[in-house]
Amino acid sequence: MIKLAVILPAAGTGSRMRSETPKPFLRLKGATILEHTIRNFLRVEGLVQIVIATSNKWKSQAQGIAARYKSENLDVDVVEGGSERQFSIHHALQSLNDDVNMVAVHDAVRPFITTSLVELCCTEARDHGGAIVAVPAKDTIKRVDTKGFIQETPKRSTIWQAQTPQIFQRPLLEKAYKKAIAEDYFGTDDASLVERIGGKVRVIAGDRRNLKITFPIDLRVAEMILEEGTFDVPQ
Ligand code: C5P
């Protein structure tokens, strides 16, 4: 039986947003981005724990939010994040409940993830080791050297843009993190850590609305998605 924990890294500083308030705590139509994100997980089958990693400064805000979503069947915990996303997740992994057997990592700043996509990703991860949500690259991607010259143009049809959630069998993700931290390896997503220890990771075609709110323009797009009313926001 799936017992899923979701780690929500929310300890970024928001420098690219040019905002004093970190992105997960910015408000979007009456609720913080973090709350929008949490709501989309509440109905996921097998969900038993949510762990929010946040900076010390925003800990009490995160705890206030956590208290609102805690229930008899769901633990919502707050841990201190680190200076890199990878450290934030590593900390969160230390506070998983004993009964958790699957772990999802989902950027706190991706508020448009659907319950059905999380569930599909989770069953694929259970069956294969790991699974991530991604979309086919719409731009041609170039590998560029430090002097600004193109080194390689990978065939676009083979290139996908990784999003989150990225879901793994718990022992596999724990092993991958342990090894990466021990060897000072930094990846920009969780799957890359699992790949380097030989783990199999399935790619699930996702939804372009599952954007990562990073720049001010993304906030405008997020408002438009909510105004349009096509994204079913669970209350
Ligand atoms: O910076 P980036 O866009 O990769 O951030 C993705 C997610 O990771 C965000 O939700 C951000 O708050 C989180 N993060 C974190 N700890 C850091 C940096 C980013 O939890 N040190």
Distance in Å, CA 9 to ligand 1 centroid: 6
Between the alpha carbon of residue 22 and those of residues 7, 16, 108, 213, the distances in Å are: 17, 10, 11, 11
Ligand 1: nearest atom to the Cα of 108:
10
Give the rounded distance of the alpha carbon of 68 from its chain centre: 21
Q: Which of 38, 79, 85 to mutate to test the pocket of ligand 1 (most atoms within 8 A of CB)?
A: 85
pLDDT digits (tens, 9 = 90+) for 31-85: 999 999 999 999 999 999 999 999 999 999 999 999 999 999 999 999 999 999 9
- Identify the CA nearest to 90 among candidates 165, 25, 184, 162: 184
pTM of the predicted model over 0.75: yes
pLDDT digits (tens, 9 = 90+) for 107-138: 999 999 999 999 999 999 999 999 999 999 99
88 lines ligand 1 (CB under 6 A): yes
Of the CA atoms within 13 Å of residue 18, those in its CB half-sphere come to 4
| Token code pair at residue 135 | 């979309």
Ligand 1: nearest atom to the Cα of 53:
20
| Token code pair at residue 188 | 């920009």
- The protein residue with its alpha carbon nearest to ligand 1, atom 11, reads 12
